[in-house]
A and B are shown apart, each in its own frame.
Chain A
Amino acid sequence: MAQDSCNNTINNNFDDLHKPLNLQQAIAESGRCLYCYDAPCIQACPTSIDIPTFIHQIRSENTIGAANTILTQNIMGGTCARVCPTEVLCEEACVLNTSIDQPIEIGLLQRHAVDHLMKNTKKHPFERAKNSGQSVAVVGAGPAGLACAHRASMLGHDVTVFEAKEKSGGLNEYGLAAYKMVNDFAQDETDFILDIGGIKVIHNQRLGDNLNLENLQNNYDAVFIGVGLSSTWSLDLDNECTEGVMDAVDFIESIRQTKDKSQVEVGNDVIVIGAGNTAIDAAVQAKRLGAENVTLVYRRGEEQMSATGWEVNLARTNGVSIKLWSAPKRIIADGHVAQMEFVKTKTKGGKLVETNFTYTLEADMVLKAIGQKLELDDLNGIDVERGKIVVDENYQSSIEGVFAGGDAIDCGEDLTVQAVEDGKQAAHAINSFLGGDS
C-alpha cells in the first residue's frame, strides 16, 4: 500500500506541467487579446502563426478554424504549444507585457485549439496536391523531418522517412521532459501528421549504418536531412564511463520510454552538469523522481545560461540547487560514482579561467548535459562548418538535391518550432527544385 501510494505520487509528479484550458477559460483568455494589427507576436513566432487571428477564432467559438490557422503554419502546433519557450517568443512580444498587465497565454490557447481539432475531427485538415510523380527521402522523423515530409506530401510528392529509432518523433518522443508531453502526445501527433497520406516511415534506418546517402540520392528525386544531433560532448575526465555517470539525454529518454515513472532509476545525490533546457529537464525530472539532492552545476554565471529564465525558475521551485562558476574537475569513483570535484571559475579579460578554489559534492548519479553534436561520419562529402551542415538560403546543402534543416544546420535557435519551420521551408525549396511552384 505504502509503496503503491509512493509510486502514484511519483507518477503524479509527471502530470501536465501546465493544465490545459477548458472552453470557458479559453474564451475568457482569448477575450483579453487586443487583436493587434500586424501583431508583434506573429513576428516573434519562428513559424509565423497568425496568432491574433487564431485567438479571435477561439473567441468566436470557431475552435477548428483556430486550429487550422495554427496548423497551416506549423503542423506541430500541438507540441510547440506545450514546449515552446513562449516567454522569449510570442508571449514576450505581446503588447500586454506591461507593468500593469500580463501577456496573453498564447501557448495554452494554441494547445486548446489544436487538441480540440485532434480530438474531435476524424478528417485530416489538409489535402494533398495532385501527385507530382516525384519522390522525396527524409532522413530523421523528428520535428524537422516530419514537418518537411508533411509539407512535401501536401505539395504532391511521395515521401519516405527513414528513422534511426524505433519510434517517430525525434526529440518530441525521446528528448523533452515528460510533464510537457503527457499521454503519449508525440505519437498521437505523428499519427495525425501522417494522416495526410503519401508518407511512408521506415524505422531503424540509420545513416552511415544501414542507410547510405548516395543510395538515397540515386533512388529519390530529393533528399532532406533532419537527423538532429545524435551524439554528445564529453567532459574529458577520468572515470567518465563509470557507473552512475550518464548523458542527460539518455536519462530523459529512459523517463519518456518508461510508462510507470516510479520504475526509472534515479540517484539520491544527483549532479547535473550544464545550463541549457536539457539540463533543466534532467534536473527537475530527477527531483520529481524522488532524488533527495539535485545540484545543477554550470561553469559560468546565470546570465550565460542558455535555459530561459522561466526554466531556471522552474528548477529552483522544484528544489534544484544551482551552483554557478564551477567547472568539473574530477569524477571520484569506486566502481560507482561517489563524488565530483569542481573548481571555481571566474572571467578574466573576458575569458573563463579557473581559480584555486575547489570543492567536492557527493554524487551517486551524474547527468551530463553539456551539449549534443552532429554525427559527422555519416555525412560523406557534405560541407560542414562548426559542426553543422552548411546550407544555402534554400536549405540546400553543398550537394545538389540534398537539403537539410533542424538542429543539423546552424539556424540560430535549437527549438522544436525552428526545426518545424526549417522542415516546412525546405519542403517548399525542394518543391521548387523539383520544378513545382514554390
Chain B
Amino acid sequence: MDIRSKPSLKCNVAGIESINPFWLASAPPTDKYINVVRAFEAGWGGVVWKTLGEDPAVVNVSSRYGVHKNRGNIVGINNIELISDRPLQTNLDEIIRVRKEWPDRVIIGSMMAVIEERAWKELAVKIAETGVQGIELNLGCPHGMCERGMGSAIGQVPEMVEKVTRWVKEVVDIPVFTKLTPNITNILWSAEAAQKGGCDAVALINTVNSITSVDLDLMAPTPTVGDQGTHGGYCGAAVKPIALNMVAEITRNHDTKDLNISAIGGIETWKDAAEFIALGAVGLQVCTAAMLYGFRIVDDMIAGLTGWMEEKGYQTIEDFRGKAVGNTVDWNNLDMNFDTKALIDQDSCIECGRCHIACEDTSHQAITFDVADNGKRIFTVIDDECVGCNLCQIVCPVPECIDMVPVDNGLEYMNWTNNPLNPMNN
C-alpha cells in the first residue's frame, strides 16, 4: 500500500499562501466581479485584477484582438486593449466583495500610473485598502499606455522600475510584485532594478510587442480599428519559449536567483506549468489559454500536475522547483565532446521523406533515400555525416520514429572554457 499522501499544490508566493499556483493574470478575464467569481468557482487559486489606473478611466477601442494561426491552430494572439475602462471605485468595491466571499483565494491588485510619486502612492493605498493580498505594478503594457508614459515606457527604464517599486513599497505593507516587460534587451537590468526598489516578487513576462498580421485588402495591421491598426501585446503559446528563457535568466543569475517569480507566458497545460516551476518560478499566471478555452482548463492543470508529481514522487511544488536551473548553463559550459546521432525506426517509418528533404536541403545531407525492389521508400542516416541536430526528429510526423541516440565516443567532457581552440587558453 502506498502510504504517501497525495501531492499538495499549495504554494507560497512572496509570503502569500495559495491553494494552488494557478492564478489568472491581469487581463480581460479578471476585469469584473462576475469573471473573477466564475474563475474561483472553476478552481483558480488566485487572480491578478485587471490593471487599475487613476480616474477618469481610459476608453477602449473596438476591435481589440489579433491572431496568429498556423494550419488552423492558434499560435498566439495579441491585444490592443488598455487597462480597466471602468471607474476606479467600481473596481475597488467589487474587489472588496470578492475578497469577502472567497477568503481562501488570492486577489492581487494590478495598477499603473504616470511617473509621479503621488499618483503611485495614492492609488496603491486605495487598492491596498480593499484587502488585496498583494499589489502588482504593471510596467509592461507595450501598447497604448506606453504612449502616455506608462506601462512599458516605465518598464524599459531600470531607474524608473526601481523608483516606482520603492514608492509603492513605502506606502503599503503587503507584498509588491513588479511586472516586467520582455520588450527590452536584457531582462536582468529591470529585474535587478525591481529588486533594488524592494519588490517582493517579479512577475514576467508581460506581452511582447507585435503585429500579428497585415490585412492585405485593407492594407492595415490587424486587429483593425476602422481602416487602421496598431502594434499590440503578443501572448499565448508562441511566447512561452521567450518567457521560459527570461525566467531562467533571473533564476540562474547570482544576484537575482532568490527573487520570487510569478511566471507568465503561454502557460496552457500542466506541463507548461511544471516547466516554469522547474526553472524556478514560485507561482504562475495564465491568461490566453483561459481566453481561448474558458476557465475550465484549470481542472486539467491541477489534475495533470498532481498526477505527474505523484508519478515522480514529488510531494510539494518545492520538491521540484528550480530543479532545471542548474542544468541551464551558458553555451560555453556545454560538453563539446557529447555526440548524438539520429536513428530511424524503419518499422514505424511511414515513408513521407520529410526527414530526408529537411536534411538534404537545409542541413548535412545525412539521410539517404533509396527505393527497395518492393517499392518501399527507405530513409537511412549516415552516421558520419549526422551532427545530431534534431531537425529530422522535429519534422518527423510519427512519434518516436526517429530517436536521437547518444554515442559513446570515449571522449572526456570538454567545454569551450577548457578547449585548446579557445584563444583565451593560449
A38 touching B369 in the complex, CB below 8 Å, given contacts A95-B351, A95-B352, A96-B350: yes
Complex interface residues of chain A between 22 and 54 (CB less than 8 A to chain B)? 27-28, 31, 34-40
Q: Is A5 an interface residue (CB 8 A)?
A: no
State A312–B357 Cα separation when bound (angstroms). Answer: 39
B86 CB to closest chain A CB, in angstroms? Answer: 37
Contacts A34-B397, A38-B369, A40-B377; A95 near B350 (Cβ below 8 A)? yes
Task: Please report the total number of B residues contacting A with Cβ < 8 Å.
Answer: 12
In angstroms, Cα B72 to Cα A35, docked, is 16
Query: Which residues of B from 330 to 363 have beta carbons under 8 Å from A?
Result: 350-354, 356-357
Give B73's nearest chain A residue, CB to CB. A31
Q: Which of B72, B350, B353, B397 contacts A38 (CB 8 A)?
A: B353
B71 in the interface, Cβ–Cβ < 8 Å?
yes
Whole-angstrom distance between the Cβ of A371 and the nearest chain B Cβ: 30
| Chain B minimum-CB-distance residue to A24 | B72
Question: CB-CB < 8 A to B72: which residues of A?
Answer: 27-28, 31
State which residues 209-253 of A face B: CB under 8 Å.
none
Write out the residue numbers on chain B whose beta carbons fall within 8 Å of the beta carbon of A40.
351, 377
Contact with A along B50-85 (1 / 0, CB 8 A): 000000000000000000000110000000000000
**B369 neighbours in A (Cβ, 8 Å):** 37-38
Q: How many A-B residue pairs have CB under 8 A?
A: 31
Is the C-beta of A98 less than 8 angstroms from some C-beta in chain B? yes
Residue of A nearest to B356 (CB): A37
By a CB distance below 8 angstroms, the chain A residues around B377 are 38, 40
- Contact status A36-B352, CB under 8 Å: yes
Closest residue of chain A to B379 (Cβ to Cβ) is A37
Name the one of B350, B353, B354, B357 contacting A98, with C-beta atoms under 8 angstroms: B350
Q: Judge whether B351 and A35 touch: CB under 8 Å.
A: no
In whole Å, how far is A347's beta carbon from the nearest beta carbon of chain B? 28
A105 vs chain B, min Cβ distance (A): 16
Query: Max chain B CB contacts within 10 Å: which of A27, A34, A59?
Result: A34
Cβ-defined contact, A37 with B353, below 8 A? yes
Chain A residue, CB-CB nearest to B357: A37
Contact B354 A37 (CB under 8 A): yes
Residues of B within 8 A of A96 (CB): 350
A37 with B352: CB separation less than 8 A:
yes
Selected from B71, B352, B353, B356, the residue in CB contact (under 8 A) with A59 is B71
Nearest B residue to A30 via CB reads: B71
**Roughly how many angstroms separate A302 CA and B297 CA in the complex, as a whole number?**
52
Q: How far is the CB of B69 from chain A (nearest CB, A)?
A: 10
Picked from A31, A36, A39, the residue with its CB within 8 Å of the CB of B71 is A31
Highest count of chain B CB atoms <10 Å: which of A37, A39, A96: A37
What is the bound-complex CA distance between A98 and B401, given in angstroms?
14
Bitwise interface map of A from 97 to 128 toward B, beta carbon under 8 Å scored 1, else 0? 01000000000000000000000000000000
In the complex, the chain A residue whose C-beta lies closest to that of B358 is A37
Are B352 and A34 neighbours in the complex by a CB distance under 8 Å? yes
Contacts of A28 in B (CB 8 A): 72
**Binary CB contact string for chain A from 189 to 204 against chain B (1 if under 8 A, 0 otherwise):** 0000000000000000
Residue numbers in B under 8 Å from A95 (CB-CB): 350-352
Q: Would you give the shortest CB distance from A34 to chain B, in whole angstroms?
A: 5
Minimum CB–CB distance from B355 to chain A (whole Å) comes to 9
In the bound assembly, the distance between CA atoms of A98 and B357 in angstroms comes to 22
List B contacts of A27 (CB < 8 A): 72
- Least CB distance from A39 to B in Å reads 8
Q: Determine the chain B residues whose CB is within 8 A of the CB of A38 once the complex forms.
A: 353, 369, 377
Chain A residue numbers with a CB within 8 Å of B397 are: 34
Q: Closest approach, in angstroms, between the C-beta of B366 and any C-beta of chain A?
A: 15
Measured CA separation A40–B357 after assembly (Å): 15
Which of chain B's residues have a CB closer than 8 A to the CB of A39? 352-353
CB distance from B70 to the nearest CB of A (A): 9
Which chain B residues lie closer than 8 Å to A59 at the CB level?
71
Give the residue name and chain of the A residue nearest to B397 (CB). A34
Question: A15 CA to B350 CA in the complex, in Å?
Answer: 36
- How far does the alpha carbon of A31 sit from the alpha carbon of B70 in the complex, in Å? 9
- Docked-complex contact A34 and B354, CB < 8 angstroms: yes
Complex Cα gap A95–B379 (Å): 14
A39-B350 Cα distance, complex, nearest whole Å: 12
Q: Which residue of B lies closest to A38 (CB)?
A: B353
Q: Determine the residue in chain B with the shortest Cβ distance to A97.
A: B350
Residues of chain A with a CB closer than 8 A to B71's CB:
31, 59
Cα distance A59–B350 in the bound complex, in angstroms: 22
Residues of B contacting A37 in the complex (Cβ-Cβ under 8 angstroms): 352-354, 356-357, 369
Contacting residues, chain B, for A35 (C-beta < 8 A): 354
From B352, B353, B356, residue with most partner A Cβ within 10 Å: B352
Chain A residues with CB below 8 A from B353, complex form: 36-39
Q: What is the chain B residue whose CB lies nearest that of A31?
A: B71
Bound-state Cα–Cα, A40 to B71, Å? 23
Q: How far is the CB of A98 from chain B (nearest CB, A)?
A: 6
CB distance from A238 to the nearest CB of B (A): 49
A59 to B351, CA, bound (A): 22
Q: How far is the CA of A59 from the CA of B72 in the complex (A)?
A: 9
Residues on A with C-beta less than 8 A from B356 are: 37
Residues of A contacting B352 in the complex (Cβ-Cβ under 8 angstroms):
34, 36-37, 39, 95
Q: How far is the CB of A278 from chain B (nearest CB, A)?
A: 30
A96→B349 CA distance, assembly (Å):
11
CB distance from B209 to the nearest CB of A (A): 27
- List 24 contacting pairs A-B, 8 Å CB cutoff, sorted by A: A27-B72, A28-B72, A31-B71, A31-B72, A34-B352, A36-B353, A36-B354, A37-B352, A37-B353, A37-B354, A37-B356, A37-B357, A38-B353, A38-B369, A38-B377, A39-B352, A39-B353, A40-B351, A40-B377, A95-B350, A95-B351, A95-B352, A96-B350, A98-B350
Identify the B interface with A (CB < 8 A). 71-72, 350-354, 356-357, 369, 377, 397
Q: A39-B352, A40-B351 are in contact. List 11 more A-B contacts (CB 8 A).
A: A27-B72, A31-B72, A36-B351, A36-B352, A36-B354, A37-B353, A37-B354, A37-B356, A38-B353, A40-B377, A59-B71
Would you list the 6 A-B pairs with minimal beta carbon distance, nearest first?
A37-B353, A37-B357, A31-B71, A36-B352, A95-B350, A34-B352
